[in-house]
């Protein structure tokens, strides 16, 4: 029961907060690399116990499979995405990272500017 609650809270934080953190760190993208998501999870202090859900939410299936197949872990990209889509995206299975970012953008965040400063407009 406790593990179920921890998983719920981890996925929730990935959808609501990690999505915005990825935009801030790497810009708004349809998909992020496994390395980018892992780095954002670690640097942002998010739970790493359920990081496969973050990878499934924000990475391409080919990248996900390339990372997890050699580890021989019993997680399935589509199963993880199904849980995320059922809980947060009205069962929409064809989502990408932009879908999550746009759906859960906080009030006054524009999402145009991020840590790398790419996309910023400076005079001169």
Per-residue pLDDT of the chain (124 residues; tens, 9 = 90+): 899 999 999 999 999 999 999 999 999 999 999 999 999 999 999 999 999 999 999 999 999 999 999 998 888 999 999 999 999 999 988 999 999 999 998 754 444 444 454 444 434 4
Q: What angle do CA 108, 26, 87 make, to 5 degrees?
A: 65
- Residue 103 CA to residue 121 CA, distance in Å, equals 25
pTM, entire model: 0.82
- Residue 20 CA to residue 56 CA, distance in Å, equals 16
- Residue 18 CA to residue 4 CA, distance in Å, equals 20
């Amino acid at each position: 029961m406790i593990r179920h609650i921890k998983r719920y809270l981890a996925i929730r934080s990935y959808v609501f907060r990690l999505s915005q953190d990825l935009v801030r760190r790497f810009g708004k993208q349809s998909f992020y690399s496994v390395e980018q998501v892992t780095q954002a999870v670690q640097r942002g202090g998010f739970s790493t116990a359920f990081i496969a859900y973050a990878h499934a939410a924000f990475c391409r299936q080919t990248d996900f499979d390339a990372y997890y197949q050699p580890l021989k872990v019993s997680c399935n990209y589509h199963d993880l995405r199904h849980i995320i889509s059922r809980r947060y995206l009205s069962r929409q299975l064809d989502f990408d990272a932009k879908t999550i970012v746009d759906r859960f953008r906080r009030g006054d965040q524009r999402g145009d500017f991020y840590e790398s400063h790419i996309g910023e407009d400076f005079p001169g």
